Amino acid sequence: MAGRGRESWVLGICAALLVGCGGPTAPDAAPADVRRMLDRRADAVLDRDAKDYRATGRPAEAYDNLRDVPLQSWEYRLTAFERHGARATAIADLRYRIKGYDREPLTTTRTLTLQERDGRWYVAAERPAKKATQQLWDQGPVAAVRGAHSLVLGVGRDDEEGAVLRRYAEIADRAVPRVRGAWPGKWPERVVVLVPKSLDGMAGLLGSPASGYQGIAAVTTGEAGGSGSAPADRIIVNPEAYGALGDFGKQVVLTHETTHVATRAHTSAATPLWLSEGFADWVGYRGTGRTAGQAAPELRRAVQREQLPAALPEDDDFGFSGDAGKLAQAYEGAWLACRMVADQWSEAKLTAFYEAVGTHKKRPGAVEDALRDVLDISPEDFTARWRTYLRAELG
């Protein structure tokens, strides 16, 4: 009896509170309204409907910057919403695909500043979220040039007919069949090349300081060890370093980066940079007739000074630390390691070795197992053989 009476008293208090407060507070409808507005904004981008886009707010130039980009999909997914009266900040994942190139959407995070007027929400500003990278259209109007195997997107180009971007497309179109001839695995056999206006623009697309890419002509972004559904990679060019190269160097660079696109599904956390970068250089130089001495001048000078490397390059050796000579030697040594495998075993053994290393999920044991299983050699003997090869080719 005492327990039942206490229960009735508690229920009575709860009922009184509900009556006094008018029931639960109604949820804020603003997030749902913002989602609908963002859906309309995304539809306007895909439909090329400038009027409908402007009806969702600003900045109008973002729509204009995207005008030439061939989009398959464009979708905002609201992940956070913080309201302060008639203003709000929203965080949204932007998922988009480029038509004919991306098998799955690429995702980037955006911060949107919102303003409410007359019961409706509008975008006052849109920018990359904290720690998110810029997109090319954040840097200005994007011009697009289609090649037979490539799509080149660039900003900051004042040549009316896109002559510069067409030259990029021509080089990329030659790179794809060269890679196809060297890499037997399946890959999309098409590439997307992004050409920002400057080194700073490249750094913005990569989300890193520009100092880390001085002297680097291009990089490839993508999902290492990706499945067959991984989205297409992007080759991002440093127009300053790339522009300083001759025609031969430009072709080698884009063939190298296209190789990264082709091998992405077989490149994992287990793959050391000496193998991924060396293999890409091997494909880049394959069939060009360049000798070891011509393609590895820094390492050649070191070998002739009796400064033969004691070991294959470490991952850290491929970072740009201001010592351009050291960086060049890392790439040259890695290339010659892969060239040695192709010369002394076979090209088929080289690609099989690459794939075998990538099947491991972790670095420890990956190279050792692949050397044993594919090349029938120990790591110590492989290194010794590589050093002998360097002396023979560069001495």
**Amino acid residing at 231:** P
Measured CA distances, 225 to 161, 228, 262, 360 (Å):
38, 10, 12, 10
Confidence class of residue 385 from pLDDT cuts 50, 70 and 90? Answer: very high
**Tokens, residue 280:** 């890409």
Residue range 212-228: average pLDDT? 74
Mean pLDDT score of the chain: 89
Report the pLDDT value the prediction gives residue 324, as an integer from 0 to 100. Answer: 81
Confidence class of residue 251 from pLDDT cuts 50, 70 and 90? Answer: very high
Q: What is the pLDDT of residues 73-97, one digit of tens each?
A: 999 999 999 999 999 999 999 999 9
CATH architecture assignment, domain 30-132: Roll (3.10)
Residue range 8-20: average pLDDT? 34
Confidence class of residue 161 from pLDDT cuts 50, 70 and 90? Answer: low
CATH fit for domain 134-263, picks 3.30.1370, 3.40.30, 3.30.300, 3.30.70: 3.40.30
pLDDT at 122 over 80: yes
Q: What is the pLDDT of residues 104-120, one digit of tens each?
A: 899 999 999 999 999 99
Confidence class of residue 212 from pLDDT cuts 50, 70 and 90? Answer: confident
Report the pLDDT value the prediction gives residue 228, as an integer from 0 to 100. Answer: 44
Report the pLDDT value the prediction gives residue 350, as an integer from 0 to 100. Answer: 98
Q: What is the pLDDT of residues 189-206, one digit of tens each?
A: 999 999 999 999 999 999
The three state secondary structure string of the chain is CHHHHHHHHHHHHHHHHHHHHCCCCCCCCHHHHHHHHHHHHHHHHHHCCHHHHHCCECCHHHHHHCCCCCEEEEEEEEEEEEEECCEEEEEEEEEEEECCCCCCCEEEEEEEEEEEECCEEEEEEEEECCCCCCCHHHHCCCEEEECCCEEEEECCCCCCCCHHHHHHHHHHHHHHHHHHHHCCCCCCCCEEEEECCCHHHHHHHHCCCHHHHCCCCEEEECCCCCCCCCCCCEEEECHHHHHCCCHHHHHHHHHHHHHHHHHHHHCCCCCCHHHHHHHHHHHHHCCCCCCHHHHCHHHHHHHHCCCCCCCCCCHHHHCCCCCHHHHHHHHHHHHHHHHHHHHHCCHHHHHHHHHHHHCCCCCCCHHHHHHHHHHCCCHHHHHHHHHHHHHHHHC
Domain spans of the chain, in order of start: 30-132, 134-263, 268-395
pLDDT at 7 over 60: no
More confident residue, 61 or 238: 238
pLDDT at 5 over 80: no
C-alpha of 83 from chain center? 33
30-132 and 134-263: identical CATH topology: no
Residue range 287-295: average pLDDT? 96
Specify the range with the lowest mean pLDDT, choosing from 25-34, 42-51, 334-343. 25-34
